[in-house]
Copies of this chain bind each other. A is one copy, B any other.
Amino acid sequence: MLTEFDTSLPSVRQVQNLIKETSQVEVKLSTGDVISGKILWQDLQCMLVQDSSGQKVTIWKQAIAYIKPLG
């Protein structure tokens, strides 16, 4: 569990790369919801994902089960 945002962590840098490359991803949440789109930014607490309809969803990291590349 992260209590501060360590940008040298591989998993934090991986998300930074997904942001830079505007990759399409699928985020599976603890609720069972799947949010698909590109990640616009992340911080210690959240991740902002924009879906194909342009809607922006602020995902709480505490709810993430996994992230995988789309398609």
Which A residues contact B (CB, under 8 angstroms)? 1-3, 6, 9-12, 14, 28-33, 35, 41, 43-46, 48, 55-69
Is the Cβ of A56 less than 8 Å from the Cβ of B29?
no
Is the Cβ of A9 less than 8 Å from the Cβ of B68?
no
Known: A9-B43, A14-B58. A33 touches B66 (CB 8 A): yes
- Residues of B within 8 Å of A3, CB to CB, are 1, 3
Query: Bound state CA distance, A68 and B60, in angstroms?
Result: 11
Is the Cβ of A58 less than 8 Å from the Cβ of B11?
yes
- Residues of B within 8 Å of A32, CB to CB, are 31
A9: min CB distance to chain B, Å: 5
Beta-carbon nearest neighbor of A67 in chain B: B58
